[in-house]
């Protein structure tokens, strides 16, 4: 479904990604783990074309999207939930959700987009209660639900999620990740960047470890979770220890 071939991305003269290659097959949950500053957010932004790569190729469902505009990427079926949520704080929950459907209005019409609001409210019922409230007045967990809901309004087939658990309480994280797993079971493909490596790998079909802008390990989520190097770096367990 998604393929990156030798992708390099830089901010000015500072190179962040170095010849990154990875694949996400339809129906998978694939996670990317790595230390802060390893390039995870840049990788997702490169896929969604918020940042243009300096080299390499990005393809989605067999189509080269390396030079596409961000709105074209959304129309093709890629939704992006950025780190920090990036909502419109002085707009209502309902208006934030409606904005998520902007790229598909010409194709589907406003009436169909409005009907899809019901699906978002089924996934995150608290947003019904908050629909007229300003997004900036929501709790952190509610804002994350809204950010995911806004991306879902574009009807994506592939969802990019950047640190969805950041700053949230354990019960809220459990609720949000439960909703994501339900969406995955309904057919949504997910590429996940997540600070909680154990949580991410436990739910992923496959995973990649990004270090200093390069992929240094890749395997199934289960095998990466048991990998000695991953255990030592991310879970503080020495190789060979119980």
**Which residues is 189 bridged to in the sheet?**
158
- Spell out the domain ranges in the chain: 1-77+157-242, 87-155
pLDDT value at position 239? Answer: 47
Q: Give the chain's mean pLDDT.
A: 92
* Number of alpha carbons in the 13 Å side-chain half-sphere of residue 43: 37
**In sequence order, what are the residues at sequence separation of 6 or more whose Cβ sits closer than 8 angstroms to the Cβ of residue 110?**
none
pLDDT value at position 242? Answer: 44
Q: How far apart are CA 83 and CA 123, in angstroms?
A: 20
Q: How far apart are CA 11 and CA 159, in angstroms?
A: 24
Question: Is residue 42 within 8 Å of 16, Cβ to Cβ?
Answer: yes
Q: How far apart are CA 118 and CA 120, in angstroms?
A: 5
Q: What is the pLDDT of residues 100-110, one digit of tens each?
A: 988 777 777 67
**In sequence order, what are the residues at sequence separation of 6 or more whose Cβ sits closer than 8 angstroms to the Cβ of residue 180?**
148, 161, 164, 190
Q: What is the pLDDT of residues 121-171, one digit of tens each?
A: 999 999 999 999 999 999 999 999 999 999 999 999 999 999 999 989 999
Question: Is residue 79 within 8 Å of 159, Cβ to Cβ?
Answer: yes
Question: Is residue 180 within 8 Å of 164, Cβ to Cβ?
Answer: yes
- 165: closest CA among 156, 153, 174? 174
Strands, E, within the chain: which ranges?
2-11, 14-24, 29-33, 55-60, 63-64, 78-81, 158-162, 189-193, 206-211, 214-220
Question: Is residue 63 within 8 Å of 73, Cβ to Cβ?
Answer: no
Q: What is the pLDDT of residues 184-209, one digit of tens each?
A: 999 999 999 998 999 999 999 999 99
CATH superfamily of the domain spanning 1-77+157-242: P-loop containing nucleotide triphosphate hydrolases (3.40.50.300)
DSSP 138: S
Q: Which sign does the torsion angle of CA 161, 183, 121, 168 carry?
A: negative
């Amino acid at each position: 479904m998604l393929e990156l071939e030798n992708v390099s991305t830089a901010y000015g003269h500072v190179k962040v990604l170095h010849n990154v290659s990875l694949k996400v097959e339809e129906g998978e949950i694939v996670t990317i783990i790595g230390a802060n500053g390893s390039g995870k957010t840049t990788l997702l932004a490169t896929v969604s074309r918020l940042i243009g790569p300096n080299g390499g190729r990005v393809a989605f469902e067999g189509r080269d999207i390396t030079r596409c505009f961000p709105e074209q990427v959304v129309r093709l079926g890629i939704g992006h939930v950025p780190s920090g949520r990036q909502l419109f704080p002085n707009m209502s929950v309902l208006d934030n959700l409606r904005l998520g459907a902007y790229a598909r209005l010409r194709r589907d019409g406003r009436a169909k987009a409005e009907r899809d609001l019901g699906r978002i409210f089924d996934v995150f019922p608290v947003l019904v209660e908050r629909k007229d409230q300003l997004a900036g007045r929501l709790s952190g967990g509610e804002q994350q639900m809204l950010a995911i809901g806004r991306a879902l309004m574009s009807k994506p087939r592939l969802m990019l999620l950047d640190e969805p658990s950041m700053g949230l309480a354990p019960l809220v994280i459990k609720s949000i990740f439960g909703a994501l797993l339900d969406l995955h079971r309904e057919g949504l493909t997910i590429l996940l960047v997540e600070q909680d490596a154990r949580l991410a790998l436990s739910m992923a079909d496959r995973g990649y470890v990004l270090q200093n802008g390069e992929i240094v390990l890749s395997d199934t989520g289960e095998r990466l979770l048991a990998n000695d190097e991953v255990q030592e770096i991310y879970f503080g367990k020495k190789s060979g220890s119980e």
